[in-house]
Each structure stands twice: as structure tokens, then as C-alpha cells.
Amino acid sequence: MWKKIFTGSIFIVIFNVVGLLGCKAGSAEISTSKIKIEKIGTVYLPWGLAILTPYEVLVTTKIGQLFLFNLDTKTKTLISGTPRSAFYRQGGLLDVAVQKRKDGNYIFLCYSKLTANKNLTVAISKSKLLGNKLIQTRDIFTSNHLSRSGVHFGCRLALNEIHLFASLGDRGNRSNAQNPSNHPGSIIRIPINGTKPTGKLGWLPEIYSIGHRNPQGLYFQKSTGQLWSHEHGPRGGDEINVINKNHNYGWPKISYGKEYIGGDIGLNYSPEGFTDPVWVWTPSIAPSGLTFYEGKMFKQFSGKLLVGALKYRCIYLINLSADNKPEKEECIFKNVFGRVRDIEVLADGSILVINDEKQGHLFRLSKNIPNSK
């Protein structure tokens, strides 16, 4: 495990990347090339981001709305038919994922759901997108855990060809993360062909891994097929993990963070039977959103991890070693976007960013091409 201790309306702006690094002393400069940053549009409390077409993206808001943004015309359209979500503290309409099929586009939404007795749980819906409306909406997953807590929903989604994966936070109750008969504190796997999930004997069938606190990053690395995740630690101890089936990632028996009032939380190493993170931030950066840059527009980002940082208001650019492990990082675009909530990479290699603000924005980063005469 590599441990990192860190101390430290439409417009177009052209930035010098080096001037935005805000990195620790001695870190390498990534480039002196120019980057164009466009503000595509505004939205109240955006949370999740998913690509629909090369010029259209979906953005969720915590208050329960889903918008379709056209990147060419810089317009947004409200999509009707979203499930009723409960906007309370960290809960609401959270992540979104798109499955493209011959018979149309199917939309998955992860959200906090209010039950009849006024408890909250986590649910995932599936709908078909027809024009500007979601139809055939139904819940394909509902957590078995009910709580009035408004924290640690997790709720990031990732799709491969046959499964939908979702990260579930511990809902503020640490013991949930080591209880495989409870959904919270786990990463789950749901077949998207309608078959019943199968899992480890003694675990709920949907549970793929356990021992997670509040995972808000989830992404498949295309070059390897590996599923990567990151999660919020307590006071320090934010983690990046490579997710494997039936593994236990330790929380709260193992943590590289501290209690908020001081003192250790469990062990600060992973004994046999537990899986160590591949990267740790102490103090916390409050990570949200994760993607690999596998585009061609920005060669200086090629093959690297992009992680949003709510606390430091930047994007962490993380280099990987020859054996595909994080080895160093840089904090880029500091204070440009605000609290970075989610990141995606378009097919042309440009980068999309949403921030976590009441007057939130969708941004697009592309390569600036000087006018030639």
C-alpha cells in the first residue's frame, strides 16, 4: 500500500496549466499547454454526471431533478419521470449511469428514498429514456437498511457489459460495514439482464465487497477491466481501493484516519483477511468523482487518475507506476471550479466537471487551438 501524506451564463477562459497546479514543492510540472474551460450551464446542487452522446450529458441534482445538457448549443432540458427522492443532508438524487442498447437508452439512478415510516434507505431505479421523459421506471434495488441518518449514502454507479455496480456508504453506523447481511458499507453488483444476483455464502447475494465507509468514486479502468473506488475516511484516511470480489476493505476495523475527537480507529494496517488501500490521503481531501484519462486530447493526462477534491477545490491528477499502482499526485485547477463533485471524459478526450455548489455549474475542458492566419 502506498501512503500519501499531504500537508498542505457562458464564458470561456484560457489557463496555463502550470499556473494552476497548487502542488507540493518538488512535484513535476505536467505541461505548459493552454486549456480552454467553458461554463456550459448552471444547475442547483449538481451531484452526478453521465455521458449520453458525444454532445449530450445527463446531470442530476440533489433536490431530485435530472437535466440533459447539449454541449454544442449550451442548453439544458429538464427530464421528467425521475423517482421521488428524499433531499436531506447528504441524501437526494445522486448518481446516474447510462446503458446503451439497440432498443434505446436506459437510465439508472441512485437515490435516497423515504419509506412509509419516515426512515431513509438507498434505492436504484431503472428507466428508459424516451425524448425528454423517463418511462418504465422501477426500482431494481432497495437497501435492506432503514435509518433516519442523513449521511454516508455513497451512491456512485459503474456499468460493465453485464452488471451494474453501486457503492453504498455505512449510513453513519460503522458496524454496518462489517455485516454482510446488511447492504450499507458495501459495493454491490446487480445483473442488468434481470437474472438473480449470486454472491458469497453467508453474504447478501448483491454484495461484492464489504468494509467501506462512504465511497463516492467508482470506475472501471478500460485498459485492465479493474474496478477502482475511493472513499471518505474520518479525520484523515481517505482511500483509493482496487475492488475485488468478496474482499473486505477493513472499515472500521482498519482505518488510516483518526477519531474526530482524537485517537485511533482500529488498526492502521491490514492483517490477513483484509485488503489494504492502494493510496491514502492524510489529512482528508474529501474525494468525489473518479475517472481514468484514456483520451487523446491531453497527452499530459494519459493513463492517469482524475479525482475530484471537495475540500481542496481542485482535481487530483494521480500518476500510476508500471505495475498500475498510484505513485504520485498533483492538485490541478485549484479554486477554478469550487468543490469538485464529479468528472467524466468524453470520447473526443475533453473533460467534464460539475461542482458542488448551490449555484452549480457544468464545465468542459478542451484543448485551446490558437487561431491560425
Count Cβ neighbours within 10 Å for each residue of 122-155 and write b for 16 or more, e otherwise: bbbbbbbbeeeebeeeeeebebebebebbbbbbb
Quick check: 358 and 44 in contact, CB under 8 A? yes
Q: What per-residue confidence (pLDDT) applies to 33?
A: 54
How do strand 2-5 and strand 279-282 relate by DSSP bridges? parallel
Q: What per-residue confidence (pLDDT) applies to 371?
A: 62
Residue 177 pLDDT exceeds 50 = yes
More confident residue, 132 or 20: 132
Statement: the pTM of the whole predicted model exceeds 0.75: yes
pLDDT (average), residues 301-324 = 97
Residue 52 pLDDT exceeds 50 = yes
pLDDT (average), residues 194-199 = 89
More confident residue, 369 or 42: 42
Q: What per-residue confidence (pLDDT) applies to 368?
A: 85
How do residues 264-306 score in pLDDT, each as one tens digit?
Answer: 999 999 999 999 999 999 999 999 999 999 999 999 999 999 9
Q: What per-residue confidence (pLDDT) applies to 34?
A: 83
Q: What per-residue confidence (pLDDT) applies to 26?
A: 30
pLDDT (average), residues 94-116 = 97
Residue 22 pLDDT exceeds 50 = no
Quick check: 69 and 38 in contact, CB under 8 A? no
Quick check: 186 and 203 in contact, CB under 8 A? no
pLDDT (average), residues 310-322 = 97
What percent of the chain has pLDDT above 70?
Answer: 90
Q: What per-residue confidence (pLDDT) applies to 236?
A: 96
Domain ranges of the chain: 2-296+336-367
Q: What per-residue confidence (pLDDT) applies to 316?
A: 98
Q: What per-residue confidence (pLDDT) applies to 1?
A: 58
* Alpha carbon distance 51, 138 (integer Å): 21
- From the list 223, 238, 326, the residue with the least C-alpha distance to 288 is 238
How do residues 67-98 score in pLDDT, each as one tens digit?
Answer: 999 999 999 999 999 999 999 999 999 999 99
pLDDT averaged over the chain?
91
**Residue in the structure block whose three cell numbers are 499530459:** 300
* Alpha carbon distance 145, 147 (integer Å): 7
* Alpha carbon distance 340, 314 (integer Å): 6
* Alpha carbon distance 177, 247 (integer Å): 12
* Alpha carbon distance 218, 221 (integer Å): 10
Q: What per-residue confidence (pLDDT) applies to 370?
A: 67
pLDDT (average), residues 319-334 = 96
- pLDDT-derived band at 7 (thresholds 50, 70, 90) equals very low
pLDDT (average), residues 171-190 = 98
C-alpha cell at 342: 464529479
2-296+336-367: CATH superfamily? TolB, C-terminal domain (2.120.10.30)
- pLDDT-derived band at 23 (thresholds 50, 70, 90) equals very low
* Alpha carbon distance 276, 134 (integer Å): 40
Angle (CA) 14-314-233 rounded to 5° is 170
C-alpha cell at 40: 456550459
Burial zone of 335 (CB within 10 Å; 0-12 exposed, 13-18 middle, 19+ buried) = exposed
Residue 109 pLDDT exceeds 70 = yes
Residue 102 per-residue DSSP state: T
Q: What per-residue confidence (pLDDT) applies to 145?
A: 97
C-alpha cell at 132: 425528454
pLDDT (average), residues 337-361 = 97
